[in-house]
Amino acid sequence: MPERDAFHDAVENALVKDGWKITHHHLFIHFGGVDMYVDLGAEKIVAAEKDGQQIAVEVKSFIGTSIISEFHKALGQFLNYRLGLEEQEPTRTLYLAVPLDTYKEFFMLPFGQIVIKRHELKLLIYDANKEVIVQWQN
C-alpha cells in the first residue's frame, strides 16, 4: 500500500467537513499493465444538486527541498491518474489537492497558471492547519 502524504488526514477531514463521504483511502487503478493508487476517493452526499458526484483526490504537501521537483512529480502523477480514471472510472473527476501557501507562492505565478490551463488541472486548495477546503478550481 502506498505511503500517505503528510497532509492526507487534513485533506480527508476537510472533505468530510465539506459534505463528502470518503469511499476510498487509496483508490486503486489498474491501467495498461500498471497499478496506481490515487490518495482518496469521495462522493458528494450533501447538496441535492451534487448528489452522486464522484471525485478522486491526489494529495500533495509540497514540503520537499525543491518545489519545482515536487511540482513535476505531482503533475506527472496527476496526468497518469487522470488517464487511468478516464478508462477505469470515467464518472470520477480527479483533483490535485494543493496547500494554500503553495498555491499562493507557486501556482499563482505565470508559469503555474500556464501549466494549470494547458493541462486542464482541477485543483482543491486546502488549509492544512484549519483542515478546510479554501477553493475548488475547475
**1 within domain boundaries:** no
For 63-123, the DSSP string reads -SS-HHHHHHHHHHHHHHHHHHHHHH-TTEEEEEEEEHHHIIIIITSHHHHHHHHHTT--E
Q: What is the pLDDT of residues 45-82, one digit of tens each?
A: 644 345 578 899 999 989 888 999 999 999 999 999 99
**17 within domain boundaries:** yes
**109 within domain boundaries:** yes
Is 0.75 surpassed by the pTM of this model?
Answer: yes
Q: Count each helix (H run) and each strand (E run) in the chain, helices first.
A: 4, 8
Q: What is the pLDDT of residues 30-54, one digit of tens each?
A: 999 999 999 888 887 644 345 578 8
**2 within domain boundaries:** no
**20 within domain boundaries:** yes
For position 74, which CATH number holds? 3.40.1350.10
Q: How many domains does the chain have?
A: 1
Q: Sheet holding 40-44: strands in order across?
A: 20-24, 40-44, 54-59, 92-99, 123-127, 132-137
76, 114 Cβ separation under 8 angstroms: no
Q: What is the pLDDT of residues 109-133, one digit of tens each?
A: 999 999 999 999 999 999 999 999 9
Residue range(s) defining the domain that contains residue 19:
8-137
